[in-house]
Structure 1
Amino acid sequence: MNGCLNDEIGARLRQVRQHNRLSQRALAKRAGVVNSTISLIESGQTNPSVGALKRILDAIPISVADFFSLTDAGGEQIFFRNKELTEIGKGGISYLQIGNNMVGRSIQILKETYTPGSDTGKVRLTHAGEEGGIIIKGRLEITVEDQRRVLGPGDAYYFSSRLPHRFRCIGGEPCEVVSACSPPTF
């Protein structure tokens, strides 16, 4: 690898480490490397092998693919046009996520669109964190544990995501929701 690539890897590693509130020493200990290794990589003075880089990234944790898909250090995108939102849904439900990389983030924000009759499934969702949202258009049936409610425009919800939950579009028109999940575990 050349010096420019070493600098880029070092800057990315520093950015990810700082987002995860880890000191160089703490990351080195987690990864099982010598303390000076992280400092040398971040300063661009050493070129880590793929195996060493993977071991360090696993200790954060972040995948090698996510690590290399990060925007340039300091070049974080702040504003997003509609076409720049990342689609993470499938089938009758569209989940447009603000941002394409949740590494180091504390919150995940989605614009959800449910086609009439679409459903998150009979097996209820559970994941770490909390989530909330507000219905913009249409009607959405939300089941959380043993509670069920149909919400319309202007209505909102907020609950612990650890509770089993399910969403279903009711009626003949699509339902639109703006939601947030913290941490970004969905």
Structure 2
Amino acid sequence: MEDSAALEERDEVGVGLRLREMRRAAHLRLKDVAALAHCSESMLSKIENGNVSPSINTLHRITRALGTSIGDLFAEPDAGAPFVLRQGRRPTLVSHPLRHGDGIVLESLTPFEIDGILQAQLHIVAPGGASDGLISHEGEEMGYVIDGSLELTVDDHRAVLGPGDSFFFSSKRPHGYRNAGDIEVRVVWVNSPPTY
């Protein structure tokens, strides 16, 4: 049985990993979140690495900067099936000042504890919502449109995808997206590795 110090250390590492994953999912740098949360970049790095346990006030400021909540930070997989994240209990990221467009929500489909080679999210984009310009990074991406009309730009190519359409591309190619219609877009989006 673990002692209380070991449990506390494991919890600090878990919170740090979740915060780092949420920050990466939001395409934010350490200094971006530190500025929004009114803490030092060094302190945020220590929190993400599990070296420092943040106060409730600091944790609240960081999660608010990430467009999420402390409750979402501690969302757990289903206890009866630890490989399952139930609807309504998955961690989410919502709009924040550094993301362009209204109503972009990223809902994690893979648990933050997985130290693997892929990351999956449900992108929910309200009409008028868009990614913050074009980005590029290491890895590969693929997705499947569930609902709505997604305009996807990769390099200088633009395509409008509807329900049932899928896409794939190297993440090194500049890419971005927007809701091209008047209803909510829902896309299952998978990245490998989870380094964006």
C-alpha spacing 1:70/1:173, structure 2 compared with 1 (3 Å): closer
C-alpha spacing 1:92/1:148, structure 2 compared with 1 (3 Å): same
Offset at 1:6? 5.3
Cα distance in 2 between the residues matched to 1:140 and 1:117: 11
| 1:29-70 per-position Cα deviation (integer Å, ceiling 9, x unaligned) | xxxxxxxxxxxxxxxxxxxxxxxxxxxxx8xxx611699999
| 1:99-122 per-position Cα deviation (integer Å, ceiling 9, x unaligned) | 45255122111111111111102x
- Alignment pair present for 1:78 and 2:78: no
| Moved beyond 3 Å, runs of 4+ | 5-10, 65-71
Cα distance in 2 between the residues matched to 1:155 and 1:99: 22
Q: Identity across aligned pairs (percent)?
A: 30
Larger Rg: 1
TM-score by length of 2: 0.57
Offset at 1:178? 0.8
- In the other structure, the counterpart of 2:190 is 180
C-alpha spacing 1:114/1:64, structure 2 compared with 1 (3 Å): same
Cα distance in 2 between the residues matched to 1:180 and 1:88: 16
**Amino acid aligned to 2:165:** D
Cα distance in 2 between the residues matched to 1:83 and 1:178: 16
Query: How many residue pairs end up in the alignment?
Result: 136
- In the other structure, the counterpart of 2:50 is 64
| 1:77-130 per-position Cα deviation (integer Å, ceiling 9, x unaligned) | 311111111112314211100245255122111111111111102x31222211
Does the 8 A contact of 2:110 with 2:121 survive in 1? Answer: no
3-state DSSP of counterpart to 1:167: strand
**Amino acid aligned to 2:82:** Q
- Alignment pair present for 1:4 and 2:3: yes
Structure 2's unaligned 5+ residue stretches are: 15-45, 55-72, 96-101
